[in-house]
Chains A and B, each alone.
Chain A
Amino acid sequence: MTLITETDFGTPKAISEKMVTLEIDGVSVTVPEGTSIMRAAMELGTKIPKLCATDMLDSFGSCRLCLVEIEGRKGTPASCTTPVAPGIKVKTQTDRLANLRKGVMELYISDHPLDCLTCAANGDCELQDMAGAVGLRDVRYGYDGDNHVFARREGVNNFRFKAKDESNPYFTFDPAKCIVCSRCVRACEEVQGTFALTIDGRGFASHVSAGADEAFLDSECVSCGACVQACPTATLTEKTIIEAGQPDHSVVTTCAYCGVGCSFKAEMKGDQVVRMMPYKDGGANEGHSCVKGRFAWGYATHRDRMLKPMIRDRISDPWKEVSWEEAIGYAARRLKEIQEKYGRTSIGGITSSRCTNEEVFVMQKVIRAAFQNNNVDTCARVCHSPTGYGLSKTFGTSAGTQDFKSVDKADVIVVIGANPTDGHPVFASRMKRRLRDGAKLIVVDPRRIDIVRTPHIEAQYHLQLRPSTNVAVMNAMAHVIVSEGLENRTFIDERCDTIEFSMWEGFIREERNSPEALEPVTGVPAAELRAAARLYATGGNGAIYYGLGVTEHSQGSTMVMAMANLAMLTGNIGHDGVGVNPLRGQNNVQGSCDMGSFPHELSGYRHVSNDSAREMFEGVWNTTLDAEPGLRIPNMFAAAVEGTFRGLVVQGEDIVQSDPNTKHVTEAMENMECVIVQDLFLNETAAFAHVFLPGTSFLEKDGTFTNAERRINRVRPVMAPKQGKQEWQILCELSDAMGYPMSYDSGADIMDEIARVTPTFTGISFEKLDRLGSVQWPCNDNAPEGTPIMHVGGFVRGKGRFMLTEFVATPEKANSSFPLILTTGRILSQYNVGAQTRRTANVTWHKEDLLEIHPHDAEVRGIRDGALVSLASRIGATTLRATITDRMPQGVVYTTFHHPVTGANVVTTEHSDWATNCPEYKVTAVQVTISNQPSEWQKEWEDREEENKRIAVKPLVAAE
């Protein structure tokens, strides 16, 4: 294993059909028009010295090391900013250039400390490399001139010197080592799009400034790490590198946070990770990262991590650490007992969207084959199940239509119920770049999320609708497009079912669907909605991106279909720059759905009642399968409360914290006789468990994740499983113990089986993934290298279907007792239930969940910023701190669910999507009042936190 060093071509790749041939140092090279001379040289392997250039950033031309000579041209142009031209003859090394480069390096080093040997960048410093490359031997200016290096100069304080800024928990900023190449500033602007950094001062006083010369932590910096990655010196350095030194080898793997699925190089010393570096060849992220993937991986080795299997008879007992054999034997025995007592369907399991495809596949197989029922569901139930339903009904595939790159070609971007800068930051950066380049933006969201107005971006329209009225807004947009004749008739006639279209057209044309008629319902001014609809229909490529603000409603599935209607209506499907694109919440939520995690579907979305599909599985698995769909998660809870469902295996999810109506969930959990939790930590669900099977972190897993663009990425182990086993091995052992023997050699072996039984995965193998980097399904004989964009030339299901999308209001209504609407979401630094991020320094940014409330709503309740408030719904109450912000509209409050003590889901209701039972997290009628104490539930939680997570101290054998 070696350290993977990626070639830095110096400037970004040029895209052009036209090729240009030139000569560099006598060697001919042909490159696309628009390529820089520097990049053309690197294509030949000729490294022209450089410091300010790097291929993640546009050329800048400041360091003046890359100067070259071109025959017949005056002067010494910079090779990074000079494009190739046909027939030119370039010299990259001449005496004149050598002197110039030495002269420039001499200037650099005259204002740089000479502590290379003890410097954190030693071994990874471009300045050092360049000094070596140009052969600098002497700095004739000396080191006692004006400088930024020394704290004192000529006996007094050096006013130019700035002390090291260590405010960010993950990296340091040492201005004394800065060469003012602006790479960090440009990375913050061009790659991340936050514009937190700038160069302050002119001339020799020029220096990098975070915010207005503030500490990094106090500035607008979002800690994405792009600046640290871009820095050629030790000025910006990861604290882990300062502490541990340079890595000795690296492995490319996939981040285990959100559905963007960023590729990283895990940089290692032995089996210790010292740095996660975004991988430039990663299809999803192309070298960018966010604060979570880049820095918040320390949870994998956190002291809270459980490494021993544990069992207990009752949840009030302390946990007892046992051997794997004992734990698995105990689990199997109890499950079998339950089945004997309450029937075959009295047990089931929940697969995890955080586990690999291979682990999920094995998990659902255990349930279908070993448990002999279909009581398997996945946490996608509570997030994107309506996406699967809606897109499958209309287009024929339960997945987003585009790759992320497609957004580069979008002209009108519609963001609905998604908060990309917080939830999907790396994709958001790509989207922001396109918006800065001129694409128009429509945001449909009750909150003024960041992307509505962020540096150099402002939404053309922010349709600040009332929560729960998504469908009405979509219908009104479609009404405008149809009634104003802006639809794409050719597309509809050629690609869609025209009979269904005419039915739909009749429906949508009805006056009750007009923006004017719906304005009282949605709260969106009709004129603004009309303008937005026109822009989407006529502004060029229209691309819809949406999140849980669409799905987590009682009309979630209707809404997904309404968006699909809109895209078909305008022909915005089937090519680059368009589409209907879910921003998936968890790293493998797409994959867990693909792998057959739903109670009614086998892998590849084939219904369990489909005889031929089922028989095929029965053949491969050598068993019989139930043709009846099993229980969905909410049904499992209901059945548990009723007493017919008694045993549950939970794979890497924390349903007690994440599922709605916590009281109901805990009641169900308490009713179960055997709950088996496989996780890294003793989470909220484990408080109700009888068997705890320690899991593996993504750094130990060997498998694949599938991201929101259907991209299958390899997850490669960088260290051995800390608890001794891959999770699929544990599941196989459980299956064995249950009486259905199951064994695999490796993750690759499991993928081979997946490919065998899943038509959209036929062409997938680890070998191919290793060769191509990643593949987007469908991957089969028709598309051997995968499918970046779906429905090209026609819909997967044949004709696109316009579905009637009647707006049916949610039963959850505000009234005088519960006058506000609560909506929930997440923030940048934390992830989902926080199990991972809370165990990292990301808590620096978000220590507790806060209730966002509009100033007026706060004022009338006497709530001051930071005050403790009680948040009560018809279901339950919790207490948290309020933060007053005009980001919220009046009448709507918002909070996150990253901290278990908040119990945000104690408040949320059991209303759910009519088609898929996806909970209505986004709409709960609440009242907010000043409080001075934790809620009843929080007191119970505190007790349980103490009681249910106790681990018995082992007898002191050694003392004997």
Chain B
Amino acid sequence: MIKVFVPRDSAARAVGADDVALAIAEAGAAKKIELQIVRNGSRGLFWLEPMVEVETAEGRVAYGPVEASDVASLFKADFLSGGKHKLSLGLTEAMPFLKNQERLTFARCGITDPLSVSDYIANGGFAGLKKALAMSGVDIVAQVTESGLRGRGGAGFPTGIKWKTVHDARADQKYVCCNADEGDSGTYADRMVMEGDPFMLIEGMTISGIACGATRGFVYIRSEYPDAIATMKEAIGHAEAAGWLGANIQGTDKSFTLEVRRGAGAYICGEETAMLDSLEGKRGMVRPKPPIPALEGLFGKPTVINNVLSFAAVPFILDKGGTAYKDHGMGRSRGTLPFQLAGNIRHGGLVEKAFGITLRQLIEDFGGGTFTGKPLRAVQVGGPLGSYLPAAKLDLPMDYEAFAAEGAMVGHGGIVVFDDSVDMAAQARFAMEFCAIESCGKCTPCRIGSTRGVEVIDRIVAGIDRDRNLELLDDLCQTMVDGSLCAMGGLTPMPVQSAVKYFPEDFDKPAKMQAAE
């Protein structure tokens, strides 16, 4: 039986993967060809989606981007045997975009059937959990600490230390919560994991639960990810049925149950304490710290909160050892990060590489430069609260400390590219506007400051009292940085101030009225 792979990832579905799968199935049936269509995860080459693969003796051969109308010609070209076609991409694994990556976390994504436990195990799945089941909590935490893994949600807090805090806390109940409220602009790695390799997340969270003594876990998935929610729910059912989740995992005395919670539809619910409120059924409002969630988290109990990518890195670490993971990376940024290329870029998609790769390598070598072909002017790394970097900073290595030194952040690894048509004053205004809309409304600097920020930038752009307003903007940013309750208000000045710093000319144009004269 011939295996044909048509991704079920929502990025592929958004560009017609379902139609393609249906067309292939119908054509196959009409031709009485026995073929098995596997709805795999995405390989992360989004400009080629829907990317169809066929299993051949030489390996998997890829075609893309395929439209339903291409299916007839694909059959004509005998794509089922790897035949040549205008959409031929050759052997998947040989494509440079993939070949040059270091996929530790995304090792399986796009290769397996996301909902097949046996497929998962055949490709190295649950090896980490198997080992963890035989280990003490302290030893598991030690491996994670050894790996140098830092929180992939953006803050980069050492995961081992967080887990140790929860492990050492005494409580009748502890929780593991996965923050899958992936709301940063230009990011999609969490979604790809949940849609393309959900068992990996389940495995990572289960290991965390066993390590810290938590028996219940929640995955908080943003409401805009219906496919991820459905896939995760189904995967949890399969994992339970196969004894990898639930009571007495694989016959041991370890138990861990997992539930999916649909996000409340607010960006702020991705802030970990607001997420806890939301998980508790309340309005998502930021909580002050201390107490830290590791000691008083969900329902006031010690709680591990990690991003999808943090948990997803754990099965590898437990399977191959903390040292194997630590061998990747630079400085205090160890391991790999799945970077997500987006915005004005020719080859948008997921690139998992060890820390230390430069922005230029990612954008030029993997991304192929801007989509428009015009010169790159700015890059925003780390979501809507990340700094805008000018082209001159492209040789910055992806490293938490190197970015921090530049007043920027790696964040969740989202990279949004802008060409020279961008108006950076408008981008700065957008940052304030985004904050004004998405702020939880609790603390004053964020609640009122962001609205005033928009107005001040408007006055600057309009040429009203420009110097005085630039000074006011600076004061406002300082108030927000030092005074805000959480990173939302505290980081909003980053894109604003970096835009002013690197692109001052955009704030000093003649006002429109004057220009019209």
Determine, out of B146-154, B382-390, B440-448, the stretch whose residues face the partner at the interface.
Answer: B440-448
The minimal Cβ–Cβ distance linking A366 to chain B, given in whole angstroms, is 58
Q: How far is the CA of A202 from the CA of B451 in the complex (A)?
A: 12
A146 touches B451 (CB 8 A): yes
A96 touches B288 (CB 8 A): no
Q: What chain B residues lie within 8 Å of A67 (beta carbons)?
A: 482-483
A122: Cβ under 8 A from any B Cβ:
no
Q: What chain B residues lie within 8 Å of A63 (beta carbons)?
A: 443-444
Q: What chain B residues lie within 8 Å of A7 (beta carbons)?
A: none
Query: Which of A103, A108, A182 is close to B478, meaning CB atoms less than 8 Å apart?
Result: A103
Q: What chain B residues lie within 8 Å of A103 (beta carbons)?
A: 445, 475-476, 478-479, 483
Query: Which of A83, A199, A203 is close to B437, meaning CB atoms less than 8 Å apart?
Result: A203
- Within B422-451, the residues touching A (CB, 8 Å) are 435-451
Q: How far is the CA of A62 from the CA of B288 in the complex (A)?
A: 9
Q: What chain A residues lie within 8 Å of B289 (beta carbons)?
A: 81
Given contacts A76-B483, A81-B288, contact A108 B444 (CB under 8 A): yes
B33: Cβ under 8 A from any A Cβ:
no
Q: How far is the CA of A179 from the CA of B444 in the complex (A)?
A: 9
Given contacts A60-B288, A61-B485, A145-B451, contact A107 B479 (CB under 8 A): yes
Query: Which of A59, A96, A141, A180 is close to B456, meaning CB atoms less than 8 Å apart?
Result: A141
Interface residues on B, range: 35 or more
Q: How far is the CA of A634 from the CA of B51 in the complex (A)?
A: 93
B290: Cβ under 8 A from any A Cβ:
yes
Q: How far is the CA of A64 from the CA of B447 in the complex (A)?
A: 11
A204 touches B456 (CB 8 A): no
Most buried by B among A61, A141, A199, A205: A141
B437 touches A202 (CB 8 A): yes
Most buried by A among B441, B472, B485: B441
Q: How far is the CA of A100 from the CA of B480 in the complex (A)?
A: 9
B455: Cβ under 8 A from any A Cβ:
yes
- Within A144-183, the residues touching B (CB, 8 Å) are 145-146, 179-180, 182
Q: What chain B residues lie within 8 Å of A38 (beta carbons)?
A: none
Q: What chain A residues lie within 8 Å of B285 (beta carbons)?
A: 199
B268: Cβ under 8 A from any A Cβ:
yes
Q: What chain B residues lie within 8 Å of A64 (beta carbons)?
A: 443-445, 483-485
Q: What chain B residues lie within 8 Å of A78 (beta carbons)?
A: 288, 485
B130: Cβ under 8 A from any A Cβ:
no
Q: How far is the CA of A145 from the CA of B448 in the complex (A)?
A: 11
A762: Cβ under 8 A from any B Cβ:
no
The minimal Cβ–Cβ distance linking A80 to chain B, given in whole angstroms, is 8
The minimal Cβ–Cβ distance linking A41 to chain B, given in whole angstroms, is 17
Query: Which of A59, A100, A141, A204 is close to B441, meaning CB atoms less than 8 Å apart?
Result: A204
By beta carbon, the residue of chain A nearest B266 is A202
B452: Cβ under 8 A from any A Cβ:
yes
A104: Cβ under 8 A from any B Cβ:
yes
The minimal Cβ–Cβ distance linking B496 to chain A, given in whole angstroms, is 15
B441 touches A180 (CB 8 A): yes
- Within B347-372, the residues touching A (CB, 8 Å) are none
Interface of chain A: mostly helix, strand, loop or mixed: loop
B290 touches A83 (CB 8 A): yes
The minimal Cβ–Cβ distance linking A346 to chain B, given in whole angstroms, is 67
- Within A84-130, the residues touching B (CB, 8 Å) are 96, 99-100, 103-104, 107-108, 110-111
B233: Cβ under 8 A from any A Cβ:
no
The minimal Cβ–Cβ distance linking B509 to chain A, given in whole angstroms, is 22
B448 touches A107 (CB 8 A): yes
- Within B456-508, the residues touching A (CB, 8 Å) are 456, 468, 472, 475-476, 478-479, 482-485
Q: How far is the CA of A111 from the CA of B288 in the complex (A)?
A: 24
Interface of chain B: mostly helix, strand, loop or mixed: helix
Q: What chain B residues lie within 8 Å of A206 (beta carbons)?
A: 440-442, 447
A137: Cβ under 8 A from any B Cβ:
no
Q: What chain B residues lie within 8 Å of A198 (beta carbons)?
A: 283
B436 touches A204 (CB 8 A): yes
The minimal Cβ–Cβ distance linking A37 to chain B, given in whole angstroms, is 12
A204 touches B451 (CB 8 A): yes
Q: How far is the CA of A393 from the CA of B477 in the complex (A)?
A: 72
By beta carbon, the residue of chain A nearest B489 is A64
Give how many A residues have a beta carbon under 8 Å from the other chain's beta carbons.
37
A82: Cβ under 8 A from any B Cβ:
yes
A201: Cβ under 8 A from any B Cβ:
yes
Q: How far is the CA of A82 from the CA of B305 in the complex (A)?
A: 21
A771: Cβ under 8 A from any B Cβ:
no
B440 touches A202 (CB 8 A): yes
By beta carbon, the residue of chain A nearest B452 is A141
B455 touches A145 (CB 8 A): yes
Q: How far is the CA of A61 from the CA of B447 in the complex (A)?
A: 13
Chain B, residues 397-436, CB within 8 Å of chain A (1/0): the string is 0000000000000000000000000000000000000011
A59 touches B448 (CB 8 A): no
Q: What chain B residues lie within 8 Å of A341 (beta carbons)?
A: none
The minimal Cβ–Cβ distance linking A139 to chain B, given in whole angstroms, is 10
The minimal Cβ–Cβ distance linking B449 to chain A, given in whole angstroms, is 6
B290 touches A104 (CB 8 A): no
Query: Which of A59, A60, A100, A201 is close to B482, meaning CB atoms less than 8 Å apart?
Result: A100
A954: Cβ under 8 A from any B Cβ:
no
Q: What chain A residues lie within 8 Å of B475 (beta carbons)?
A: 99, 103
Q: What chain A residues lie within 8 Å of B436 (beta carbons)?
A: 203-204
Most buried by A among B289, B446, B482, B483: B483
Query: Which of B441, B455, B482 is close to A75, meaning CB atoms less than 8 Å apart?
Result: B482
The minimal Cβ–Cβ distance linking A564 to chain B, given in whole angstroms, is 34
The minimal Cβ–Cβ distance linking A542 to chain B, given in whole angstroms, is 21
By beta carbon, the residue of chain B nearest A199 is B441
Q: How far is the CA of A100 from the CA of B436 in the complex (A)?
A: 20
Q: How far is the CA of A331 from the CA of B482 in the complex (A)?
A: 77
Most buried by A among B288, B289, B290: B288
Q: How far is the CA of A201 from the CA of B266 in the complex (A)?
A: 11
A203 touches B452 (CB 8 A): no
Q: What chain B residues lie within 8 Å of A203 (beta carbons)?
A: 435-441, 446-447, 450-451
A140 touches B472 (CB 8 A): yes
Given contacts A78-B288, A141-B472, contact A100 B479 (CB under 8 A): yes
Query: Which of B268, B283, B439, B442 is close to A204, meaning CB atoms less than 8 Å apart?
Result: B439
Query: Which of A60, A96, A104, A205 is close to B445, meaning CB atoms less than 8 Å apart?
Result: A104
A96 touches B444 (CB 8 A): no
The minimal Cβ–Cβ distance linking A804 to chain B, given in whole angstroms, is 42
Q: What chain B residues lie within 8 Å of A204 (beta carbons)?
A: 436, 439, 441, 447-448, 450-451
Chain B, residues 42-73, CB within 8 Å of chain A (1/0): the string is 00000000000000000000000000000000
Given contacts A103-B479, A202-B437, contact A146 B455 (CB under 8 A): yes
Q: How far is the CA of A103 from the CA of B475 in the complex (A)?
A: 7
By beta carbon, the residue of chain B nearest A51 is B444
The minimal Cβ–Cβ distance linking B265 to chain A, given in whole angstroms, is 10
Chain B, residues 251-282, CB within 8 Å of chain A (1/0): the string is 00000000000000010100000000000000
The minimal Cβ–Cβ distance linking B445 to chain A, given in whole angstroms, is 6
B441 touches A202 (CB 8 A): yes
Q: How far is the CA of A82 from the CA of B441 in the complex (A)?
A: 21
Q: How far is the CA of A508 from the CA of B52 in the complex (A)?
A: 79
Most buried by B among A67, A111, A203: A203
B439 touches A202 (CB 8 A): yes
Q: What chain A residues lie within 8 Å of B485 (beta carbons)?
A: 61-62, 64, 78
Top 8 nearest A-B pairs (CB, nearest first) are A206-B441, A103-B479, A61-B288, A81-B288, A203-B439, A107-B448, A204-B451, A64-B483
Query: What are 10 A-B contacts defined by CB distance under 8 Å?
Result: A61-B443, A62-B485, A103-B475, A103-B479, A104-B445, A182-B442, A202-B438, A202-B441, A204-B450, A206-B440
Given A104-B483, A108-B448, A111-B448, 10 more contacts at CB 8 Å? A64-B484, A96-B482, A103-B475, A104-B479, A107-B444, A108-B444, A182-B442, A203-B446, A203-B450, A206-B440
A residues whose Cβ falls under 8 Å from a Cβ of B: 59-64, 67, 75-76, 78, 81-83, 96, 99-100, 103-104, 107-108, 110-111, 140-141, 145-146, 179-180, 182, 198-199, 201-206
B residues whose Cβ falls under 8 Å from a Cβ of A: 266, 268, 283, 285, 288-290, 435-452, 455-456, 468, 472, 475-476, 478-479, 482-485
